[in-house]
Amino acid sequence: MDNSTQYELMRYIDDEMLPGEKAEFEKRLAVDAVLQNDLRSLQLTREAVKQYGLKEKVGGIHRQMMKELATGTPVKPISQARRIVRYVVAIAASVLLIFMLIEGYKFYALSPEKLYAQNYTAYELTTTRDGMDSLTAIEKAYRQKNYSEVIKLNAGSVVSIKEIFLTGMAYLETKDYSRAISSFQIVITDIKDHKTVIKDAAEYYLALAYLQNSDYDQAIELMNAIRNNSSHLYKAKFNGKYINRVKRLKWR
Amino acid sequence: MEVIRKLSDAELVAAIRRGSGLDAAIKFIYGEHFEGLTRIVKNNSGNQQDAEDIFQEVLVNFIGLVQHDKFRGESSVKTFLFSMTKHTWLNELKKRGRTEVRELKYEKERDQQEMDVSHIIAENEAKKQVMNVVAHLDDTCKKILVMFYFENLSMKEILTSLKYENEQVVRNKKYKCLKQLEQMIASNPSLYQNLKNMLHG
């Protein structure tokens, strides 16, 4: 086959012939077995080049991908759904982390002193019409906030339930919690089933004294009893949240 | 990190056939299947290099099949690649005369079924022979032919890339290179026949 025919064949497979020229060539091709054979040979050669090109392309991308894998930046296909899930998980994890940090701080900052100060209200004696004349010495000393005098007077004489309660309050004010506990227990035991203002007050301050004395189980039990007693004067002082915080103190 | 959009099987096949989406398709296959497919080889006596070689071979074969409309989509791309990897590695082990052939183990994935890809594997040798012959051309010839017939670049684009005097010089060079390659293939009758079978069989 001459060079000119071979050149024509190449222009034919490269689709470079003009329409008329192509039609004329195809007429020749239809009746020329040698030309058909040469065309097939050239087509196979072209396919070999395509195969080689593909192998080279895959090889090039392979090297790029392996480099990325080695440097820890692999190409991962990410679907839209997966991306949304990833964002949602990240946000949820952030919220959870913030929540845990807040709760952790609260737990760390929790102390019986803080809970005590949050709930404590000083007991005040009611004012009488005849002023200080009808008050006992202990009551007078308590009204004057002379707590050491209250304790001293209590030790030197027989006193009433109300005066024992005031002595318990004096111990509480002077941070002698174990003696405060004893005083309030005496008041509660003595009054027993009778409902009085003093008994309710004694129970309330006893619960706080337990808290300050780190007797958490007794404090929680008494606080729950006060909370569950609908007629208790100090019922509103101990809600569920407050009692739960006292419970957490046990884990510290 | 380069992020590649997730492709369905149909989108992947379309991208390969289109040609212009080939790079993205290849990268997608790497991201989606490289780890799983190379594990088959590594779990069956192959090392990292074996696994990478087999993966590339499978990828070239798969793309070739899609481009010649021989992938009919009767199974998922994942299943198809899995079967091809398994059989290609089995074939390689046989060539190496390894005893592990009989006990090739692999991880069966939920939706994977066995496929008969043996006829495709049989073409591998013919393809390797073709690659070797093309590789023997000089670098300029390889560049011109690949740019023209694989990359589908115009003579003008090739001229810019290779710094020839004019398009006619490139055209003449391309003609000579293709003839040279044709003669190299024709001088090996079995290779010629294998190539013929591979493309028209």
Is the CB of residue B197 less than 8 Å from the CB of residue B185?
no
B182 → chain A, closest CA residue: A45
Residue B111's pLDDT is what? 41
DSSP string covering B94-111:
HHHT-GGGGG---PPPTT
Interface of B with A in 89-108 (CB under 8 A): none
Please report, as a single letter, which amino acid is at residue A149.
Answer: E
Q: Is the pLDDT of residue B125 over 90?
A: no
CB contact under 8 A, A49 and B146: yes
A40 CA to chain B: closest CA distance, Å? 9
Sign of CA dihedral A156, A159, A163, A165: positive
What is the predicted pLDDT for the residue at B115? 54
Question: pLDDT tens, A48-69?
Answer: 898 899 999 999 999 988 888 7
Quote the pLDDT of residue B110. 40
Q: Does B133 contact chain A (CB < 8 Å)?
A: yes
Å between A30 CA and nearest CA of chain B: 19
| Distance (Å) of CA A123 to CA A96, A171, A174, B60 | 43, 13, 14, 90
Determine the Cα angle at A6 with ends A3 and A8, to 5°: 110
Q: Where are the alpha helices (DSSP H) in B19-100?
A: 22-42, 48-67, 77-96
Residue B150 has its nearest CB partner, among A54, A61, A78, at A54
The set of long-range contacts for B17-20, using a CB threshold of 8 Å and a minimum separation of 24, is: B17/B66, B17/B67, B17/B69, B19/B152
Half-sphere exposure of B44 (CA within 13 A, CB side): 28
Chain A residues touching B195 at Cβ < 8 A: 44, 47-48
SS3 label, residue B200: helix
The residue to which tokens 């190409």 are assigned: A75
Distance CA B101, CA B42 (A): 14
A50, closest residue in chain B (CA to CA)? B150
Taking the C-alpha atoms of residue A189 and residue A206, their distance in angstroms, rounded to an integer, is 12
State the average pLDDT over residues A202-211. 93
pLDDT score of A152: 87
Residue A220 to residue A210: CA distance in whole angstroms: 9
Determine the average pLDDT of the residues in B27-41. 92
pLDDT at A131: 57
Looking at residue A74, its pLDDT comes to 53
User: For chain A, how many helices (H) and strands (E)?
Assistant: 12, 1
Is residue B187 within 8 angstroms of chain A, CB to CB? Answer: no
pLDDT in tens, A174-205: 999 999 999 999 988 888 777 788 889 999 99
Q: Report the share of chain A in percent with pLDDT over 70.
A: 93
Q: What pLDDT does B185 receive? A: 87
**pLDDT tens digits for range A120-144:** 888 887 766 555 667 788 888 998 8
Interface test with B, best of A13, A34, A54, A86 (most B CBs within 10 A): A54
What integer pLDDT is reported at residue B99 of this predicted model? 56
**Are B133 and B184 within 8 A, CB to CB?**
yes
At B103, is the pLDDT very low, low, confident or very high (cuts 50, 70, 90)? low
Predicted interface score ipTM higher than 0.95: no
pLDDT at residue A154 is higher than 90: no
> Which uninterrupted H or E stretch holds B138?
none
B14 pLDDT more than 50: yes
Closest Cα in chain A, distance from residue B173 (Å): 12
The amino acid at residue B83 is S
- Distance in Å, alpha carbon of A74 to nearest chain B alpha carbon: 7
Average pLDDT over residues B48-66: 93
Task: Report residue A87's pLDDT band, with 50, 70 and 90 as the boundaries.
Answer: confident
Check residue B2 and give its pLDDT: 56
Question: What's chain A's average pLDDT?
Answer: 86
Band the pLDDT of B55: cuts 50, 70, 90: very high
The radius of gyration computed from the CA coordinates of chain B, to the nearest angstrom, equals 19
- CB–CB of B192 and A75 under 8 A? no
pLDDT, residue B113, reads 46
Tokens matching residue A55? 């192998």
In chain B, whose CA is at the least distance from the CA of A42? B182
Does B150 lie at the interface with A, CB-CB under 8 angstroms? Answer: yes
Buried b (16+ CB within 10 A) or exposed e, A122-150: ebeeeeeeeeeeeeebbbbbbeeeebebb
The CA-CA-CA angle for residues A187, A189, A194, to 5°, reads: 85
CB < 8 Å from A in window 24-63 of B = 26-28, 30-32, 34, 52, 55-56, 59-60, 63
Q: Is the pLDDT of residue B62 over 60?
A: yes
On whether the pTM is more than 0.90, the answer is no
Which residues, in sequence order, are CB contacts of A169 under 8 Å at separation 6+?
Answer: A123, A142, A147, A150, A180, A205
Q: Is B18 on the interface with A (CB under 8 A)?
A: no
